[in-house]
Structure 1
Amino acid sequence: MKKSVVGLSLFFLCITSLISRSIAVEVADAPKEIWVKIDLWKRRLFLMEGSKVVQSFPVAAGKENFPTPIGNWKVTEKSREWGGGFGTRWLGLNVPWGTYGIHGTNQPNSIGHDTSHGCIRMLNSDIERLFERTPVGVTVRIEGPIFGREEWRMKKLVRGDRGTLVMLVQNRLQAAGYYSGPVDGIFGQALERTVKRYQRDHRLLVTGQIQLPEYIHLGLLE
């Protein structure tokens, strides 16, 4: 009887070990998610597979008055042969306040600088390689200085402005219970009214605009 129990125990241990190894192999062999990381500080784009860098490319980013949108986006469209300043390939992003994407260029000397109107520019040979590896739905994470580069002036936000900063202000005002509109990065009339109400409640100069005092009060600057 004891021999039978020992035998069964060894049998189950072997089975458990085999199952564990099988699961470990499956996990190890599972394909890693492909995604794109763009570092605006370095002006480089990284094609990622999980946490591993597969390829790295130099890029051009938005200039002072046309900053590149920072945040997590998705590729929503792919096109070939846009031509002209857009080069040979286009990867459109789901930025809510405008048309932004990753594309080629007919100005290769601009790569490595802040020269675009907010899009990410790449050499045509590089965007063609990236195009083949990035299906619609891929995540694109753009990281960089929220308030722009140190040498850029502080951005005053007024009605009609669009961008990452506007979206951050909407987020903070929504969290504070003031704003109930869409967090879409568009500074419209509803946001202007909300800003005025916030300014009155916190004894700030009522302008309907976002400047240094509002940035500090909303916790966006220290």
Structure 2
Amino acid sequence: MKRLLQGLLLAAMMLGLWSLYEIWGPPGALAQSPAGIHTKIIINVLQRKLYLYRNNKLFQVYPVAVGKPETPSPRGEFYITQKAVWGDGFGTRWMRISVPWGIYGIHGTNKPWSVGTVASHGCFRMLNRDVEQVYALVSLHTPVIVEGITPYTSIQRPLSSGALGQDVVELQRLLRLAGAYRGSLTGLYTEDVTQAVRKFQMIAGLPATGIATPETVSKLQQYTNQAGLKPSYLVRRS
């Protein structure tokens, strides 16, 4: 009897682990659906639309609710980090995205009339039937690119290693426009960003500290013809 109970307990534990595996996915999982189709999500905040791509072809367009001016949706290049079956205010499905400065995600809603409007605290609300379809077609690590003019002003503080925020996304965008950075617009000041800042500082004749000082940012804006413009994130559809 003892061995039988131990066997049943082990089986239950393995079943629980497999359930977590199905929801969270294996480490380093590719952005593929169960059929092996590569997926990508692009959200246009101004249009309040979510574009789902499969194998680089537009599959479907869905309406979404986006963040209010006081609680704006993040802009940048992220990916899905969590999938879960939720309820109540988050609707029937939840997909967290890799924004490093807060908890943001794509989810359903119990307020379907708000979808397609400016209404959320920064997340992207979908109709439950729509989010269930997207949930079934994407996996962990699926790219989620959020585009559109940001309500934030430009960079207002010195930035250095470990910093995170929408202003770091803007710094990455400027560095990429300048040809000094080839990474994604993640909002996290990594070593790659430090090296890119140093590279640009050397080009601009500034001390190569790797810290994005106000002078460095000003030079970047001038170099990329972005001075006086609101940050705008537009992505390629390919």
Which secondary structure state, in structure 2, belongs to the residue aligned with residue 66 of structure 1? coil
Identity of aligned residues (%): 35
User: Which residue in the other structure is 1:155 paired with?
Assistant: 153
User: Which residue in the other structure is 2:63 paired with?
Assistant: 58
> For residues 88 and 32 of structure 1, do their structure 2 counterparts lie closer, same or farther at Cα, with a shift above 3 Å needed?
closer
Residue from 53, 77, 85 that aligns with 1:48: 53
Q: Distance in 2 between matches of 1:91 and 1:105?
A: 13
User: Which residue in the other structure is 1:134 paired with?
Assistant: 138
Aligned pairs (5 A) from 1:64-213: 64-81=69-86, 83-145=87-149, 147-148=150-151, 155=153, 163-169=165-171, 172=174, 184=188, 198-199=214-215
What's the TM-score, normalizing by structure 2?
Answer: 0.56
For residues 181-222 of structure 1, the C-alpha deviation after alignment (integer angstroms, 9 at most, x for no partner) is x9527xxxxxxxx67x535xx8xxxxxxx9xx8995583535
User: Which residue in the other structure is 1:36 paired with?
Assistant: 41
Checking the alignment, whether the CA contact within 8 Å between 1:62 and 1:118 is kept in structure 2 is yes
Q: Over aligned residue pairs, what C-alpha RMSD do you find?
A: 3.7
Which secondary structure state, in structure 2, belongs to the residue aligned with residue 101 of structure 1? strand
Which secondary structure state, in structure 2, belongs to the residue aligned with residue 102 of structure 1? strand
Checking the alignment, whether the CA contact within 8 Å between 1:105 and 1:121 is kept in structure 2 is yes
Runs of 4+ aligned structure 1 residues displaced above 6 Å come to: none
What's the TM-score, normalizing by structure 1?
Answer: 0.60
Checking the alignment, whether the CA contact within 8 Å between 1:88 and 1:105 is kept in structure 2 is yes
Checking the alignment, whether the CA contact within 8 Å between 2:80 and 2:95 is kept in structure 1 is yes
Q: Distance in 1 between matches of 2:95 and 2:146?
A: 14
User: Which residue in the other structure is 2:15 paired with?
Assistant: none
For residues 36-83 of structure 1, the C-alpha deviation after alignment (integer angstroms, 9 at most, x for no partner) is 1212221111211133221221100111122211122111110002x2
Which secondary structure state, in structure 2, belongs to the residue aligned with residue 136 of structure 1? coil
Between 1:162-171 and 1:70-79, the stretch displaced more is 162-171
Q: Distance in 2 between matches of 1:106 and 1:214?
A: 47
User: Which residue in the other structure is 2:13 paired with?
Assistant: none
Q: Which amino acid aligns with 1:143?
A: E
> For residues 171 and 53 of structure 1, do their structure 2 counterparts lie closer, same or farther at Cα, with a shift above 3 Å needed?
closer
Using the TM superposition, give the Cα deviation of residue 111 of structure 1 relative to its aligned residue in structure 2, in angstroms: 0.7
Checking the alignment, whether the CA contact within 8 Å between 1:171 and 1:183 is kept in structure 2 is no
User: Which residue in the other structure is 2:228 paired with?
Assistant: 221
Uncovered stretches (5+) of structure 2, i.e. residues with no partner: 1-35, 158-162, 181-185, 190-210, 230-238
Using the TM superposition, give the Cα deviation of residue 169 of structure 1 relative to its aligned residue in structure 2, in angstroms: 3.4
Uncovered stretches (5+) of structure 1, i.e. residues with no partner: 1-30, 149-153, 186-193, 203-209
> For residues 88 and 215 of structure 1, do their structure 2 counterparts lie closer, same or farther at Cα, with a shift above 3 Å needed?
farther
Which secondary structure state, in structure 2, belongs to the residue aligned with residue 144 of structure 1? strand
Using the TM superposition, give the Cα deviation of residue 173 of structure 1 relative to its aligned residue in structure 2, in angstroms: 8.0
Q: Which amino acid aligns with 2:40?
A: W
How many pairs align? 166
Which secondary structure state, in structure 2, belongs to the residue aligned with residue 105 of structure 1? coil
For residues 70-106 of structure 1, the C-alpha deviation after alignment (integer angstroms, 9 at most, x for no partner) is 122111110002x232111100111111111100111
Structure of larger gyration radius: 1
